[in-house]
Amino acid sequence: EVLYIIEREKGLTETLLAIAAIDQLPLEVVPADRELTFAAAHIKARYPLAYADCFAVALAQEFEAAVLTGDPEFRKVSHLVDVDWLLPIDGVP
């Protein structure tokens, strides 16, 4: 999601630089395999959430992790996974 926004707003060169920067972070990129895709689809079928967000929920379930977000849409699935809420810049949820 971050990458398509960068490409749309800044172009492909900046996107490639962002990928290089992301590759330096202590993050694990998890492939969207069949099992994860089915889990995300199952969530999407039941909750009005963006499909990409359903992947985040499915991954959080798989890894017994929390979703870190400021997106209020995740309130709809906060009973499925722990959600750690980021506050907006103005500090109002």
Q: What does the pLDDT read at residue 91?
A: 61
Q: How many residues does the chain have?
A: 93
pTM: 0.78
What are the backbone dihedrals phi and psi of residue 49, each rounded to the nearest 5 degrees, phi first? -130, 145
pLDDT in tens, 11-50: 999 999 999 999 999 988 899 999 999 999 999 999 999 9
Is the predicted pLDDT of residue 90 greater than 70, yes or no? no
**Percent of the chain residues topping a pLDDT of 70:** 95
- Helix 12-23 with 2-10: angle, nearest 10 deg: 150
Q: Where are the alpha helices (DSSP H) in the chain?
A: 2-10, 12-23, 34-46, 51-63
Asked whether the predicted pLDDT for residue 93 surpasses 60, the reply is no
Band the pLDDT of 88: cuts 50, 70, 90.
confident
